[in-house]
């Protein structure tokens, strides 16, 4: 059985766990003032080429989104996003719980289109009744998106430019950032850090036990962030636990960021999966995703056979005889598993 | 240098870390449905003698308090506590952030007195304008308290009885429960689970990297807890990380709960510290604490000498020449450290 | 100049003001316990044929929506509505401020379609990840809608039936209920009260200085409503001010509810306006509204001439040479004004 | 029967009602842009001698407190007040509903003492853990207090100076401001407007049907107040209703502000009541109040006789044979009523 249900079904990457082990007995400050977190911040600043960046370590993705969005927005402001955005669909209303409206625009394979955004903003600012409406204060995007797709440098720059023009914060949810950076042909971490006003580097889905790193690349975070984070219940007493893990993930390994290598491993295996599904089995991609989340249109007659070999997620029905399914590789997926899958599917074909 | 600043300055207890290691490569369900969390729940149910208990694993203490209090209270209800309570002082308003008033009553060495509670409740319910006031819905206590003290079985039963009488939920914050149970002469975990409507078993301060276990002993948690927890940003995707740790902490070791042994270790060292300070150095206890948090009235002239040997926290000034200080042992404090301290202070005396 | 900008630009209906005057010197209980509010409640119960109804008087529409939606929903629930709904567009995020998501479905001339609703609900309840999403708890509709349209008895019954089937509350915002009931060919107040779980009868836009009457027709309001309302800042000390006005509006006049007559007056004038615009001036309706809000496609070349005679609101551009505009009659619009308008437009035609 | 239960049991002052009547048929802008509100603002600015003041009209006191406190505070800040403060006791947690902690200090006959305030602030800012606590952002006082007492100019200046020193906003709740200004020997409206950062002028309890006027005397209100107020559900569509009433109350009458004269009338009658109770009946004041709220220690044996003649409120038991009771005069109390009371009590004495 090969598990491709999601990228958060294992513990931590071996290197991350090892660093937790080797630092375990060293006493340290709490609430983020420890040596490990300080060092992790330095490594992240260097990797982002943002020497002024302010960085906080939080426990999970929904927590990070709700906390950061609420901290950055004015009380009367809302956040714009694609209607497929995680904050709009799968966070149980955590952003609304903090009092802010999530304003959903049409998504295009998971992405927010700059033209849709501009059109909405122009309509808002032209509206005589705008003061009776929720004011836009932020644009939220995911990189990669919930559908595994990526913004090109040009697309992201277009969103960034509109945000500048309309005085909005651009926030990038990088829950799966390692996979996105590994797969992108034209986006790097420093470039992303230049375009975003605030973003987070995902740990939980990219090799850590838990934890996300929030980065204000320009060092212009709101005042009193510690109090704000604590008020959201998001301040870890032993914040070092996340710091240590990011210290491990932001080491350099063969001249590359280890975090990036984690992503590359999973993306390479995802591409082998794609070859297998598309070229060998003749499945059509449901979405053309270059990252570790792969979506295919599976003939219903094959579902049972696949289920015996692979753990995966049914996404949605496509037509009477086909179902879109999601297959996710991760840092924990092994070469052997994909090779085994290639072997197994050979049988499926000859069946 | 011996570090007695707090009980969350190390990583995790070696046995906890080992279990994280040995379970790391096993794939599992997410969001709390994993095998480890299920097993941890069974161990906790057994230890509490509450076969019907519902249990959730959250990341940290403030998060747990804010989430549980908000989930359990009706919107128009508030929570009663001692004025020294963590939720009233040191959670940056996290409970109020969820819309509930924290109603503080006088504390007696960190404890809420049943008579004060009854008096307040009687006044509330006799008040013609009660409907214009925040209705009491819950009593919050800490075991041990923020000052290291413990409720006796009788005291806790008195609070429990009042809660029953006035239809209030009794919620026990067990951030340092291991130390409290280890030190108590008449309270056991099953007894605490009988008296509380909901409580949490602290992991972060008692040997885990992070994590707390929320227990509804009677299995009467509000509906849709997963959605409620997620809405508070408190649902861990890789919830197993906490489950694994509690699985380790709730093993039996020499016929005793390992979690309890962790507490006993720290409390025993705290008692050696007390002998040292009181009998050898002649310091007066600031609070008579039987647990791992020790408070002494230190002559100001000794402060510098102590600071060279021990990391500790200044609590508050007592008079012109004395300062109350806090010294905290933990699972990570070693016999050697206390022995070293005994040796060092011998010099202080001969000075 | 004839003012058709909106239906809240005058004081109060003469009969309402008179009743405020004649009751002014009588002392009364506060916070809704006064004789006038009690009497108004009796009159409303009778008019709705709901002897068990619970009724509260609040000051304004947005306040009422946010308060009632928050009181009725469970914390983790959201409210479904048409995307044109007042709560989704023009309440500055007041519902989200109380922590609840507004889930917008496509609108059809301002109305929510039962098929869209069922489709959304079926998808939600079939979704494996539903517990990670905001749970639907209520359907919100406006009667009449923001575009002046009305649900037929059949349409409203269809929505009601789905709500029953899926265990949702049906909430009807009757900010302009007088006009809706006056215009409807098949909906009466008792029928609306049978179909809704909770609704409000609009005062502010229907002849009162201020105030709305919230009705729980089955008498099953959440407990402690006074505390809940006060917590939302929505409890009027001198609640009688609204009670007195509803007492006046719910008198019978010539065997008809006076509140209904207010609506009939405005709707009759709106129909004369329609004849004038459609038949005489040849304007096309932008929306086919049977109520006091009328929307027409005005040739841009006529806009200036109209503006000299009429106060109205530009709604949205239609094409390069046409603009949709809104013209609103009310209880305060006079026969003379419409006659004058008919006279004036005669000149426009001969121009 | 003479009604002295409270100052919100009648309709409106005759002059206020008359102005509602005479302006009723004039059409106006909505949401506060109307001619009457503009004129009322000018009158208030003149009376306060604050030409730059920004002014909003809201419906009621609790709504005003919750809205303004939430608008002015940073999210992580709380509001300091006396423990008897209306926001701490009788607003059903409306401030906490907006996410802010109410931090209660000891009250001295309803007043906050500058020394208590400074002591608390010094302790807060000296505390190493201050960032984990709710940060003080505002001081809330009532003028007059809930117990009818008044701050002297010196006391209020002392509070103001501390607020300046510690960078806190000073907010004055003037629900009964007319009575306070009428009774004060050394505070005027312009002086209060100089000392406060924001305050509200009470309408509901001082002669209006409803409505309070929020004043930012320096014109430094937060941006987007209309959106903020609407988000709190506190924006009246027909805001003119309050504007018209304040226009009436801020007229000059015999060279004095009519609003002040309303207060003087009630205070004069309260002083006659005091003579009656203290000198004639020998009752002791429970609180030494110079304003329209009077508190006396009534022998229990007199309670029934009093109750037959007067409506009043039992405040609290004093000892076994005495009860503190509250007697409130208002703009609606008449000379005749007090004269009648004097006559009636003559009988009580001779009884």
pLDDT beyond 70 at C350: no
D224 → closest Cβ in A31, A135, A226: A135
Residue-wise pLDDT tens digits, D154-187: 999 999 999 999 999 999 999 999 999 999 999 9
Residues 236-265 of A with CB under 8 A from B: 236-238, 240-241, 244
Among candidate residues A305, A287, A308, the one with its CA nearest the CA of residue A297: A287
Q: Residue D172 corresponds to which tokens in the numbers above?
A: 């004055």
Packing angle of the helix pair A335-350, A300-309 (nearest 10 deg): 140
Q: Residue B148 corresponds to which tokens in the numbers above?
A: 């290291």
pLDDT beyond 80 at A289: yes
- What pLDDT sits at residue D135? 98
- Contact check, Cβ <8 Å, C99/A101: no
Sheet of strand B313-319: strand arrangement: B284-287, B293-299, B322-328, B313-319
- What pLDDT sits at residue C91? 98
B225: Cα within 13 Å, side-chain hemisphere: 19
**Cβ-Cβ contacts under 8 Å, C231 against chain D:** 91-94, 97
B90 → closest Cβ in D78, D99, D132: D132
What are the CA-CA distances from residue A323 to residues A296, A301, A320 (Å)? 8, 10, 8
pLDDT beyond 60 at D205: yes
Residue-wise pLDDT tens digits, C227-274: 999 999 999 999 999 999 999 999 998 889 999 999 999 999 999 999
CA distance A112 to chain B (A): 24
- What pLDDT sits at residue C1? 84
pLDDT beyond 80 at A318: yes
Among candidate residues A130, A79, A124, the one with its CA nearest the CA of residue A100: A79
What are the CA-CA distances from residue C18 to residues C178, D25, D240 (Å)? 20, 13, 18
Among candidate residues B292, B283, B274, B269, the one with its CA nearest the CA of residue B324: B283
Task: Answer yes or no: are the C-beta atoms of D83 and D123 closer than 8 Å.
Answer: no
**Cβ-Cβ contacts under 8 Å, D230 against chain A:** 131-132
- What pLDDT sits at residue A242? 98
| A212 sits in which H/E element | strand A212-216
Residue-wise pLDDT tens digits, A74-129: 999 999 999 999 999 999 999 999 999 999 999 999 999 999 999 999 999 999 99
Q: Does C93 touch chain B (CB under 8 A)?
A: no
Burial of C51 (0-12, 13-18, 19+ CB in 10 A): exposed
D92 → closest Cβ in B93, B134, B313: B134
Residue-wise pLDDT tens digits, C201-223: 999 999 999 999 999 999 999 99
Among candidate residues C333, C316, C337, the one with its CA nearest the CA of residue C262: C333
Confidence class for position D327, pLDDT limits 50, 70, 90: very high
Residue range(s) of every CATH 3.90.1150.10 domain in chain A: 2-6+259-350
- Strand, coil or helix: B319: strand
- What pLDDT sits at residue C16? 97
Per the DSSP assignment, residues forming a β-bridge with B104 are B81
Task: Answer yes or no: are the C-beta atoms of C96 and D269 closer than 8 Å.
Answer: no
- Contact check, Cβ <8 Å, D93/B102: no
CA distance C99 to chain B (A): 9
Residue-wise pLDDT tens digits, D221-267: 999 999 999 999 999 999 999 999 999 999 998 889 999 999 999 99
Q: Residue B224 corresponds to which tokens in the numbers above?
A: 């849709």
Q: Which residues contact A329 (CB under 8 A, 6 or more apart)?
A: A4, A7, A266, A267, A269, A270, A273, A292, A294, A338
Confidence class for position A350, pLDDT limits 50, 70, 90: low
Q: Which residues contact D232 (CB under 8 A, 6 or more apart)?
A: C94, C97, C233, D63, D66, D67, D70, D71, D98
- Contact check, Cβ <8 Å, C231/B75: yes
- Contact check, Cβ <8 Å, A132/C96: no
**Cβ-Cβ contacts under 8 Å, C313 against chain A:** 128
Interface predicted TM-score (ipTM) over 0.85: yes
| B183 sits in which H/E element | helix B177-183
- Contact check, Cβ <8 Å, C135/B224: yes
Rounded distance between C-alpha atoms, residue C261 and residue C265, angstroms: 6
Burial of C179 (0-12, 13-18, 19+ CB in 10 A): buried
Segments of chain C assigned E as strands:
2-3, 54-58, 77-82, 102-105, 107-108, 111-112, 135-142, 169-174, 198-202, 212-216, 252-253, 256-257, 284-287, 293-299, 310-311, 313-319, 322-328
- Contact check, Cβ <8 Å, A226/D99: no
- What pLDDT sits at residue B226? 98
- What pLDDT sits at residue C345? 79
- Candidates A37, A238, A313: best to mutate against B (most CBs of B within 10 A) is A238
Given CATH 3.40.640.10, say whether it is the number of domain B14-255: yes
Rounded distance between C-alpha atoms, residue C269 and residue C274, angstroms: 9
- What pLDDT sits at residue A349? 62
Q: Does C125 touch chain A (CB under 8 A)?
A: no
Can you list the alpha helix ranges (DSSP code H) found in A49-132? 61-72, 86-89, 94-97, 114-126
Query: Would you tell me how many other CB atoms lie within 10 Å of the CB of residue B22?
Result: 12
How would you classify the pairing of strands A107-108 and A111-112?
antiparallel
Residue-wise pLDDT tens digits, C20-35: 999 999 999 899 889 9
User: What's the whole-number mean pLDDT along residues C62-68?
Assistant: 98
- Strand, coil or helix: B66: helix
Parts of chain B with a pLDDT under 70: 349-351
Size of interface C-D (CB pairs under 8 A): 159
Biggest distance spanned by C-alpha atoms of chain D = 66
Residues 201-220 of D with CB under 8 A from C: 204-205, 209-210
Residue-wise pLDDT tens digits, C111-158: 999 999 999 999 999 999 999 999 999 999 999 999 999 999 999 999
Q: Which CATH number fits domain D2-6+259-350: 3.90.226.10, 3.40.50.970, 3.40.50.720, 3.90.1150.10?
A: 3.90.1150.10
Share of chain D above pLDDT 90, in %: 94
User: What's the whole-number mean pLDDT along residues A171-198?
Assistant: 98
Task: Answer yes or no: are the C-beta atoms of D217 and D53 closer than 8 Å.
Answer: yes
- Strand, coil or helix: C121: helix
Confidence class for position D350, pLDDT limits 50, 70, 90: low
Q: Residue D160 corresponds to which tokens in the numbers above?
A: 């103001």
Query: Would you tell me how many other CB atoms lie within 10 Å of the CB of residue C120?
Result: 15
- Contact check, Cβ <8 Å, D227/A135: yes
Per the DSSP assignment, residues forming a β-bridge with C316 are C324
Residue A277 φ then ψ, to 5°:
-70, -45
Q: Which residue has the tokens 């021990």?
A: B310
CA distance D157 to chain C (A): 30
Residue range(s) of every CATH 3.40.640.10 domain in chain A: 14-255
Among candidate residues B244, B214, B216, the one with its CA nearest the CA of residue B232: B214
pLDDT beyond 90 at C348: no
User: What's the whole-number mean pLDDT along residues C93-105?
Assistant: 98
What are the CA-CA distances from residue C45 to residues C36, C193, C247 (Å)? 14, 10, 12
Residue-wise pLDDT tens digits, D211-221: 999 999 999 99
Chain A adjacent subunits, 3+ CB pairs under 8 A: B, C, D
Q: Does D29 touch chain A (CB under 8 A)?
A: no
pLDDT beyond 70 at A226: yes
What are the CA-CA distances from residue B108 to residues B80, B115, B124, C96, D74 (Å)? 15, 11, 21, 41, 33
Q: Which residues contact B58 (CB under 8 A, 6 or more apart)?
A: B64, B67, B200, B211, B212, B214, B229, B234, B236, B242
- What pLDDT sits at residue C346? 79
Task: Answer yes or no: are the C-beta atoms of C298 and C306 closer than 8 Å.
Answer: yes
CA distance B122 to chain A (A): 32
B305: Cα within 13 Å, side-chain hemisphere: 15
- Contact check, Cβ <8 Å, C226/B75: no
- What pLDDT sits at residue D207? 96
- Contact check, Cβ <8 Å, B90/D314: no
Q: Does D89 touch chain C (CB under 8 A)?
A: no
Q: Which residue of C has its CA nearest to B224?
A: C131
**Cβ-Cβ contacts under 8 Å, B135 against chain C:** 224, 227
CA distance D72 to chain C (A): 16
Q: Which residues contact D271 (CB under 8 A, 6 or more apart)?
A: none
Size of interface A-D (CB pairs under 8 A): 44
Q: What angle do CA B139, B141, B142 make, to 5 degrees?
A: 160
Over the range D129-162, which residues count as b (16 or more CB within 10 Å of their CB) and which as e? Answer: eebbbbbbbbbbbbbbbbbbbbbebebbbbbbeb
- Candidates A92, A124, A135: best to mutate against C (most CBs of C within 10 A) is A92
Q: Is B145 left (phi over 0), alpha (psi -120 to 50) or beta?
A: beta
Q: Which residue of A has its CA nearest to C129?
A: A90
- What pLDDT sits at residue D254? 84
Over the range C225-248, which residues count as b (16 or more CB within 10 Å of their CB) and which as e? Answer: bbbbbbbbbbbbbbbbbbbbbbbb
| C115 sits in which H/E element | helix C114-126
Task: Answer yes or no: are the C-beta atoms of B195 and B28 closer than 8 Å.
Answer: no
pLDDT beyond 80 at A26: yes
Among candidate residues C91, C87, C90, the one with its CA nearest the CA of residue C105: C87
**Cβ-Cβ contacts under 8 Å, D101 against chain B:** 93, 96, 102
- What pLDDT sits at residue D345? 79
- Contact check, Cβ <8 Å, A131/D231: no
Rounded distance between C-alpha atoms, residue A34 and residue A50, angstroms: 21
Task: Answer yes or no: are the C-beta atoms of A4 and A327 closer than 8 Å.
Answer: yes
- Contact check, Cβ <8 Å, D63/C25: no
């Amino acid at each position: 059985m090969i598990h491709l249900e999601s990228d958060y079904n294992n513990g931590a990457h071996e290197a991350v766990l090892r660093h937790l082990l080797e630092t375990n007995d060293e006493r340290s400050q709490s609430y983020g003032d420890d040596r490990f977190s300080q060092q992790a911040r330095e490594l992240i600043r260097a990797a982002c080429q943002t020497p002024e960046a302010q960085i906080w370590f939080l426990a999970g993705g929904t927590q990070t989104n709700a906390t950061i969005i609420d901290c950055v927005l004015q009380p009367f402001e809302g956040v714009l996003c694609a209607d497929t955005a995680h904050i709009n669909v799968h966070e149980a209303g955590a952003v609304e719980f903090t009092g802010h409206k999530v304003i959903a625009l049409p998504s295009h394979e998971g992405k927010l289109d700059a033209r849709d955004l501009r059109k909405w903003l122009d309509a808002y600012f032209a509206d005589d009744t705008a003061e009776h409406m929720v004011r836009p204060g932020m644009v939220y995007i995911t990189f990669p998106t919930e559908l595994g797709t990526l913004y090109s440098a040009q697309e992201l720059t277009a969103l960034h430019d509109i945000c500048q023009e309309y005085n909005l914060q651009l926030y990038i949810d990088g829950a799966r950032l390692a996979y996105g950076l590994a797969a992108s042909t034209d986006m790097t971490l420093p470039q992303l850090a230049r375009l975003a006003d605030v973003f987070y580097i995902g740990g939980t889905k990219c090799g850590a036990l838990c934890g996300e790193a929030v980065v204000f690349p320009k060092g212009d975070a709101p005042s009193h962030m510690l109090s704000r984070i604590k008020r959201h219940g998001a301040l870890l007493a032993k914040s070092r636990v996340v710091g240590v893990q990011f210290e491990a993930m932001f080491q350099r390994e063969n001249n590359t960021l280890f975090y990036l290598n984690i992503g590359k491993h999973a993306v390479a295996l995802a591409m082998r999966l794609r070859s297998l599904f598309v070229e060998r089995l003749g499945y059509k991609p449901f979405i053309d995703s270059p990252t570790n989340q792969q979506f295919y249109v599976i003939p219903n007659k094959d579902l049972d056979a696949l289920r015996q070999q692979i753990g995966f997620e049914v996404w949605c029905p496509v037509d009477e005889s086909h179902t879109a399914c999601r297959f996710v590789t991760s840092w924990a997926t092994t070469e052997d598993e994909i090779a085994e899958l290639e072997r197994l599917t050979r049988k499926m074909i000859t069946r």
